[in-house]
Structure 1
């Protein structure tokens, strides 16, 4: 029996959930699957009944009060490099003990480096092969450095990161192919060494969308706690006062905490769930999906044909660019967190009243309805073994 070792990035639940889907398909194909994870990914996979090595905290960006990443505060922390090296050594130890036939690293450089050192067949899973760093550097620091130097810093960092990704035998981009890619700005302009081994599999999801119509506005707040809390706090501050013209809708809010299954009725039209174990039922009945602009929830909503209202984390370039691209594709609206109280209900009305959004979302769903995303990914994994 072939052994697959899967290591997802532990920031938020998106990487873990798509790796869990991939693991289920690999086991159907006769693989034994071993997980290694930290942070949110570890807790998610343990709750999903997988056996998981690892535990402990994932290396995270430091965050400001509004949830935005603190670029300079992160770089000044001397413990990060030590922890990074420690995790590489831990991955090396795990890999030596299991001796897998293939290693799947979902956005975790630590696993990729350890696997390359041991000479194991390796597949990278990514939706953000490069980073857009210059917005993170901060406006006043960009003025000091100059725009040109800030771009050079970004180029140097990305040259290093993409070179690491390119050591794997194959790279699965868990995104729709161009021109429909959600992470368009992070998957274009890549070096040839990486492009030559890159396959767009589509999101690692097996959609379970029903056809039953509903009147739900589904608000799914995912990501690390430091990113979720500021938005949850702002939403709960005004969401109970639903305008008269929107009271025919039911507002369902998932707080993104899988450790609890608490349900609270905030008003006759607003209910919060700590976690939605049956999220496909809610996605199927939603008229609009509101989210933090994480790649997984965007993909899930679009595969159910639902338009999106996206509120990306301030300064978090991956989610900001995801939201911008969804808006450019006409599949949703990008809302700045600073304007949420002023514009939330207005943008929601636009998505509900302009049927162009829902029509384009349904066209998107139909375009990819016959794709076996997980099957494509398994084919790539098997190709590096044989």
Structure 2
């Protein structure tokens, strides 16, 4: 990136669907700060707590309510549960769109970067939409095509769409980010976003690093299943609960260390010093695992078609070992230790170039 600095005032707003959207905004915010931009973060809840832990007073914070999407306990009823929340989601989108117009004027915002928040577009300033799901996974083609049309109606309201993946044939997201038809809005593949700096550990401290995230109640459902499993595992376990701001204490077996939340530096150390990472099949986590070339056991959220697609895609490439939440997890943990991992290399990144374009314009 150019050494020239910018005085642009940039608003960054991640979706509140788990912690992944906030996490993958961290490298973007760091690049903006390095370029001399004044950054405003718009969020709330655990996502805001996570970003405050990373940046403290280096940025300004604005309270923006999230969509607060909740999951069903049963996979069978997830689609119905999401459908029931559609009116609430659309109302949130309209409200955040109205909110943005006043915020742009009040704080003299020059640029908006929205990670999967559909209402943060404006004719007043350039607005960037970040997504790895141009093609949202669905059970059958007709529904997938309908959802893509609806998705593109929102994406086309933005100045440009950033996709955190490579445009090459070998990519992480497969059909999700590489549909047969792109939106009218220009699409820029900016490479993998990774808040962690891959490095080799001096020694392996943990056999298993368990990283929890995602909407409730499924985050807690998986946590309870894994807690029952931990005493049966050989080796030391680090359980990162994905609950920033929480002071809750758990009574765990002696082979397990618990952290309610790990900062970027702490997570980087945990990744480097662990043999296996166990987590949801969230896209942000996948990007970090690929960057670290780390052995993993990925457990997609039941009924979340995006994660289920990614699990199939990654398992087929031998980039990760994946299994269902309802399976015998101990059996799969044992199988993962003899699984032949074949890690890819993704060196290209367009983030510097993409941010420089914003600064220059």
1:187 lines up with 2:173 in the alignment:
no
Q: Which residue number corresponds to residue 48 of structure 2?
A: 42
Q: What secondary structure, in the 3-state scheme, does the structure 2 residue paired with 1:120 have? A: coil
Q: Please point out which of 48, 67, 72 is paired with 1:59.
A: 67
Mark the CA change 1:331 to 1:79 in structure 2 (over 3 Å): closer, same or farther. Answer: closer
Counterpart contact for 1:289–1:308, Cα < 8 Å? yes
- 1:96-117 CA-to-partner distances (Å, cap 9, x unmatched) read 22232221111111102xx2xx
- 1:2-48 CA-to-partner distances (Å, cap 9, x unmatched) read 11111111221111122122112111111111121244322322333
By how many angstroms is 1:53 displaced? 1.1
- 1:259-285 CA-to-partner distances (Å, cap 9, x unmatched) read 136675622322222122301111001
Q: What secondary structure, in the 3-state scheme, does the structure 2 residue paired with 1:110 have? A: coil
Counterpart contact for 1:4–1:33, Cα < 8 Å? yes
Q: Which residue number corresponds to residue 70 of structure 1?
A: 78
Q: Please point out which of 298, 311, 318 is paired with 2:306.
A: 318
Determine which structure has the larger helix proportion and give its number.
1
- 1:173-232 CA-to-partner distances (Å, cap 9, x unmatched) read 112444343221311225344585332422243524333231421111111232311100
Q: TM-score, normalised by structure 2?
A: 0.87
Q: Which consecutive unaligned segments of at least 5 residues does structure 2 have?
A: 1-6
Q: TM-score, normalised by structure 1?
A: 0.81
Q: Which consecutive unaligned segments of at least 5 residues does structure 1 have?
A: 135-149
RMSD after superposition: 2.5
- 1:314-355 CA-to-partner distances (Å, cap 9, x unmatched) read 00012111211111111111101111xx2x23332333234x
Q: Relative to structure 2, which stretch is displaced further, 259-268 or 284-293?
A: 259-268
**Equivalent residues in 2 for 1:1-386 (5 A)?**
1-48=7-54, 49=56, 50-56=59-65, 58-66=66-74, 70-77=78-85, 78-112=87-121, 115=122, 118-134=123-139, 151-194=141-184, 196-214=186-204, 215-242=206-233, 247=234, 249-260=235-246, 266-277=252-263, 278-339=266-327, 342=328, 344-354=329-339, 356-357=340-341, 360-361=342-343, 364=344, 367-368=345-346, 371-372=348-349, 374-382=351-359, 386=361
2-side partners of 1:68 and 1:221: how far apart?
A: 22
Q: What secondary structure, in the 3-state scheme, does the structure 1 residue paired with 2:52 have? A: helix
2-side partners of 1:59 and 1:69: how far apart?
A: 19
Q: How many aligned positions are there?
A: 348
Q: Which residue number corresponds to residue 146 of structure 1?
A: none
Counterpart contact for 1:68–1:316, Cα < 8 Å? no
